[in-house]
Chains A and B, each alone.
Chain A
Amino acid sequence: MYLTPYQEKILNGEYGWIYAKAFELIVKIGEVLGAEKLISVNHVHVSGVSYSNIGDYGLEFIKEFYVKGGLAKVYTTVNPGCIDLSNSSRLISNMFYNKQLEINNYLEKMGFKPTYTCIPYLHRRPVLNEHLAWGESSAVIFANSIYGARTNREGGPLTIASALTGYTYYHGLHLDRERVIDTVISIENIESKYYGLIGLWIGENIENKPLIKNAVNDYSSLKILLASAAASGDHGLIAIDKITPKKSYYMSDKIEKINIELKDIEKYQSKTLEFDLKDSKIIGFIGCPHLDPVEFTEIYDYIVNIYSRGRCRLRNYLLISVPYIYNELFINEINVLRRIGVEVTLGTCPIVSTISEKPDYVITNSGKAYFYLKKHKNIEVYLSTPFEIIRQLCE
């Protein structure tokens, strides 16, 4: 791999052991993948920080980078950890509270922003063809597909290495030739409430780089679709016709055309809700990926509206997960929701945390949550829409 004299110096340890180590990580991964050089990045999003996922070994690694003097060289945001940072949740276990705070402390002392969210574009919106080094598959696919920025799906340690050095390897989705669409998927006639299912189907069935035609022009639905596809498959870019900026992807000469119909995706929708809501322990979950301010406000208004009309008495759990900064932006709204009995968790979500009470069912609007809760936590999950979930949980 070609390295500039400055990069050689970092690698040889002239700026300290920790920067050499971080740099070596990027260079070695780049070499294995066949990258020719490194490239500067403007924004790093660090994933793999949940103690519930990475355990003591991950904690020790992050601690070592901090103890040996690592400091962020570029703007760096952080993914959710495994605890509700308002420490008020009955559902998200606080058994790892101190361990997670220890990790957060190292990250913040290295100069990373305490965002604790999977929607880093809330804090800094990527621009067209800008190079990023992001972890968190749902954020990566949103950056590439909605903003036309360029990032691969990076692992946690690599993102920390990029944060400390400001570089990543020039390969994969950073290159024009890896952003060539060879499959066109039409999803005409499918309502947006099925977009989570469409995403899961694409992730499982499409290995090439697709462009989706006839999608609704609604960011919330597309966010659900993209996150689902990135969970069930390894997609980092799915172009959306009329949404993804034109100059951020290219069309192949040979295009395969696919139509998705409702019957193709129905297998994911395990029947309709046939169980008895009253006798089951249910968690309604909205906020995977984390709700953006518009989504949060819509859901807040909806809940307050039906509650004030006496049409909602929550018998089961309704869990809403939001970025940590909502502690400042929406503290009044969060307090209102909590008084109604809604669980609003800050800086975490059930995917990266430990749930204290295993429910009989989870009802969620998120195909990604569906995928992980079913696969990794062995929970029965049903897909629905946010408003429908709220209605179902109200008596």
Chain B
Amino acid sequence: MNNLKIPVKIIIDSDCFGEIVVINERISFYGEVDPVTGIHKPSGKNINNKILLFPSTRGSTVGSYILYALKKYNNAPQCIIVEKAEPILVTGCVLGEIPLFVLNNLSFNYISSIISDGFKAIHNKGEEWFVVEH
């Protein structure tokens, strides 16, 4: 088993260790993610306590409140890695105290071609990378 190092820019930092869930499309948290169950409805995947990897967000600004609600219902992802962070996502992550990272000089398409659901990854606070068990 090889370890793969993925460079990231830190937006909201904290330790993060767990299983990766990959969503292959932009997420509109409002309408697509149910904060009471932690399910991303279009893919049917549970994001609770996972390392959530997806390209970026879209849709209503109410999406910020859904991230906040995920935390309140104990269904938030452990941390989020995206290709592009925009204000709705950043707002939600600050409100919900969800660590947030942006891929550093790597495209989502590339990363998602070598990483699948269930891979384990770890990030230690202060380090500008994730290590993925590959």
Contact = CB atoms under 8 A, between A and B. Distances in A.
Interface of A: 21, 24-25, 28-29, 31-33, 48, 53-58, 60-61, 155-158
A55 B86 CA distance: 22
B64 A155 contact: yes
Contacts of B64: 155-157
A156 B12 CA distance: 20
Interface string B3-46: 00000000110000000000000000000000100000000000
Interface string B52-96: 000000000110111011001000000000000111101101110
A115 to B, nearest CB: 20
A29 B90 contact: yes
7 contacts: A32-B85, A48-B61, A55-B65, A57-B35, A57-B72, A61-B95, A157-B64
Given A32-B85, A48-B61, A60-B72, A157 B35 contact: no
Interface residues of B, number: 21
A145 B68 CA distance: 34
B94 A21 contact: yes
A94 to B, nearest CB: 22
Contacts of B94: 21, 24-25, 28
A57 B11 contact: no
B95 A28 contact: no
A54 B65 contact: yes
A158 B72 contact: no
B11 A32 contact: yes
A21 B87 CA distance: 15
Contact of B69 (A28, A29, A60, A157): A60
B62 A32 contact: no
A156 B66 contact: no
A150 B43 CA distance: 41
Nearest to A24: B94
Nearest to A31: B11
Nearest to B63: A155
